[in-house]
């Protein structure tokens, strides 16, 4: 097991199976040079505590549930990174996360929800490699009514 997988276990997480992409015209991860571009991910069929796979934050999903769901989305992204790289220790740093929150019309606290993802990678990769640039926005709706969708960019070692 890699150092990152050991840290995941220490955090109380197991890697799920990566979510399969439905069409051949897109994929979960693309590498250009030393940068990995990760497609938008949702929470999958997560059974982690507090995770809501469907709904709108500020309507039928609380901020705390949204936060837990953003953590679950990052776990799905890490599973895709593992599948692509074969070894999570090859992922040198988190560069950027872009988080979208399916929020009620009057909900504006998107950053508190996406903090779940940011806190997750900061804890997993540590302050030197887990600190990242980030965008957190609201969406009038997301595919399949998921609560959170996140994409990101990561640096990979040779």
| CATH code where residue 101 lies | 3.30.1330.40
| Mean pLDDT, the chain, whole residue set | 95
Q: What mean pLDDT comes out for the span 5-24?
A: 90
Structural domain total, the chain = 1
> Could you tell me the pTM of the whole model?
0.95
User: How many Cβ atoms sit within 10 Å of the Cβ of residue 74?
Assistant: 27
DSSP state of 37: E
Residue 148 predicted with pLDDT over 80: yes
The Cα–Cα gap between 93 and 113 comes to: 22
148 beta partners: 101
Of the candidates 68, 53, 77, 50, which has an alpha carbon nearest to the alpha carbon of residue 115? 68
- Band the pLDDT of 114: cuts 50, 70, 90: very high
- Band the pLDDT of 22: cuts 50, 70, 90: confident
Q: What is the pLDDT of residue 42?
A: 95
DSSP state of 53: S
**Domain residues for 88?**
3-156
């Amino acid at each position: 097991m890699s150092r990152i997988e050991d840290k995941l276990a220490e955090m109380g997480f197991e890697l799920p199976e990566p979510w399969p992409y439905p069409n051949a015209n897109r994929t979960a991860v693309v590498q250009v040079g030393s940068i990995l571009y990760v497609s938008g991910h949702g929470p999958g069929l997560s059974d982690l505590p507090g995770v809501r796979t469907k709904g709108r934050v500020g309507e039928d999903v609380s901020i705390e549930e949204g936060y837990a769901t953003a953590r679950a989305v990052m776990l799905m992204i890490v599973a895709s990174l593992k599948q692509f790289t074969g070894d999570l220790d090859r992922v040198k740093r988190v560069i950027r996360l872009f988080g979208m929150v399916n929020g009620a019309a009057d909900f504006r606290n998107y950053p508190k929800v996406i903090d779940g993802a940011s806190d997750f990678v900061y804890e997993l990769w540590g302050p030197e490699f887990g600190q990242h640039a980030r965008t957190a926005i609201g969406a009038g709706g997301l595919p399949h009514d998921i609560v959170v969708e996140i994409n990101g960019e990561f640096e990979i070692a040779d």
